[in-house]
Amino acid sequence: MKTSVVILAAGKGTRMHSELPKVLHPILGQPLIQYSVAVAQSVAQSPPVLVVGHAAEKVRAAVAEAAEYVLQEPQLGTGHAVQQAETRLRGKSEYVLILYGDMPLVTAETVQKLLDVQKNHIGPISVLTLISDDPRGFGRIVRGEDGSVRAIVEEAQATPEEIAIKELNTGVFCFSADWLWDALKRVELSPKGEYYLTDLVSIAVKEGRSVRAIPATDETEMIGINTRVHLSDAAANMQQRINRAWMLAGVTLQDPATTYIEPTVQIGHDTVIAPNTHLIGSTEIGTACIIGPNTFIRDSKLGNRCEVFASVVEAALLEDDVDIGPFAHLRKGAHLAAGVHMGNFGEVKNSYLGPGTKMGHFSYLGDTTTGARVNIGAGTITCNYDGEHKHPTEIADDVFIGSDTMLVAPLKIGAGARTGAGSVVTKTVAEKTLVVGMPARAIRKLD
Ligand code: UD1
Ligand code: CA
């Protein structure tokens, strides 16, 4: 009993007033169409068919291999949109499930329930409805005196009595496939000049067939996005849903309202997240970490028991027991080994800091490798760029870099060496040697 999913995403989204197609506006870092695609993937065996039209190429590029595509050109309404999938799907499945690409909060569980209803229904249509005091411009479900579904009327065409109906069309439908493809040909042009998918309900009723309408239990799932007000409403609900799941999995969120965790993020139990923290992209955080407040972590991996206080971490790797901040900035390729301490106003880019290395105050390390137990004094800077090329700095184990040292790369500092405060080091320093001055010269051997 195969099910195909068709996701409608060809509309312009005029009410967004945007250059970006509506379904590509992000919610927690994901284009909102991605949420419907994920639901489709979990209820059906084959990839969904995405109906694209307005800015089709951009939508295709964003969703890529996760869906198959049919083009709707011009866009003549939701019924016309579904019709475009006929040649692709006719004869291939028993049921066709319709999702609207602008409803990212609908869950796989809810859709599966509708599918199960239709599988036990002799009529050709099951539709998910919503009973609400807020009509949101949705179509109204018209029922007869016996309670059976008679029609769906769009708000623009509704009579005052119909306008008052509180049962709304969510746009999630399940159809018997063979009936759907034939019946779509009988949909007539609406007064607005569109072929409405919703007209299939009255078409079925006129044929004497029954339509099941199942009220949804969670109103927030049915937030459809037509404006940026709806977008922020949907984003807030998605944020709550994700945050709640992490709390139930053992993560403390001190202020869920200001904690933004993208759906692609992983977090270990007993980690505590303080207010105003953003966890973005492919970030993975270990157990028993303390993150935030005021922290932004993107595409980074943190081990266990790390502390990140008021800092920005991008494409970095932190091993266990690393603590950074406040006001640290880790950039692409920063790799801090176990037990590294990095205090305030530090920046590290494309560099490895060996185990136990300390970099307490106001420093920049770029294209640098340090050994274990290195001390980077306040104000140390690797001068890694000569205006044309980047050059590497290598600092061996147990080196002590004095405050305000400039390390002019390319450069190697031998194990156990020291630099005096304010040195400008332009040449390789031998191990266990103290260098001072500008340019720094060796003044004695250390034991
Ligand atoms: C639609 C329903 C309405 C329902 C509401 C729920 C119809 C006629 N109306 O209204 O009953 O309550 O959704 O959110 O179905 N689309 C296309 N091609 C088109 C037109 C639309 O692909 O030619 C896509 C849009 O990109 C969008 C979806 O279909 O993802 C819904 O279209 P939209 O214009 O937002 O319909 P609503 O007015 O919201
Ligand atoms: Ca809509």
For ligand 1, whether the C-beta of 224 sits within 6 Å is yes
| Tens of pLDDT, residues 11-24 | 989 999 999 999 99
pTM of the model: 0.93
Task: Please state the rounded mean pLDDT for residues 202-218.
Answer: 96
| Tens of pLDDT, residues 247-289 | 999 999 999 999 999 999 999 999 999 999 999 999 999 999 9
Query: Rounded to the nearest whole angstrom, what is the distance from the C-alpha of residue 227 to the centroid of ligand 2?
Result: 9
| Tens of pLDDT, residues 150-174 | 999 999 999 999 999 999 999 999 9
Q: How far apart are CA 337 and CA 319, in angstroms?
A: 5
Residue 144: band (very low, low, confident or very high) from pLDDT cuts 50, 70, 90: very high
Q: How far apart are CA 55 and CA 36, in angstroms?
A: 18
Is residue 183 scored above 80 in pLDDT? yes
> What pLDDT does residue 447 have?
84
Neighbours of ion ligand 2 (CB under 5 A): 102, 224, 226
| Cα dist from 93 to 70, 83, 123, whole Å | 17, 15, 17
Is residue 98 scored above 80 in pLDDT? yes
Describe the strand order of the beta sheet including 352-353 as a list of residue ranges: 266-267, 284-285, 301-302, 317-318, 335-336, 352-353, 368-370, 393-395, 411-413
| Tens of pLDDT, residues 331-349 | 999 999 999 999 999 999 9
Catalytic residue among 121, 341, 361, 391: 361
Residue 300: band (very low, low, confident or very high) from pLDDT cuts 50, 70, 90: very high
Q: Does domain 251-445 have CATH number 2.160.10.10?
A: yes
Residue 1: band (very low, low, confident or very high) from pLDDT cuts 50, 70, 90: confident
Task: Please state the rounded mean pLDDT for residues 382-394.
Answer: 97
Residue 136: band (very low, low, confident or very high) from pLDDT cuts 50, 70, 90: confident
Summary mean pLDDT of the chain: 97
Are the C-beta atoms of 48 and 40 separated by less than 8 Å? yes
> What pLDDT does residue 330 have?
98
> What pLDDT does residue 10 have?
96
State in words which class domain 3-222 has: alpha beta
Q: Break the chain into its structural domains and give their ranges.
A: 3-222, 251-445
361 is catalytic: yes
Task: Please state the rounded mean pLDDT for residues 223-228.
Answer: 94
> What pLDDT does residue 380 have?
98
For ligand 1, whether the C-beta of 196 sits within 6 Å is yes
Task: Please state the rounded mean pLDDT for residues 392-404.
Answer: 98
Name the closest-CA residue to atom 4, ligand 1.
138
> What pLDDT does residue 262 have?
98
For ligand 1, whether the C-beta of 79 sits within 6 Å is no
> What pLDDT does residue 417 have?
98
Task: For residue 71, give the nearest of 54, 93, 47, 94 by alpha carbon.
Answer: 54
Task: Please state the rounded mean pLDDT for residues 205-227.
Answer: 95
Name the closest-CA residue to atom 37, ligand 1.
138
- The closest-lying atom of ligand 1 relative to the alpha carbon of residue 168 is 12
SS3 (DSSP) at 1: coil
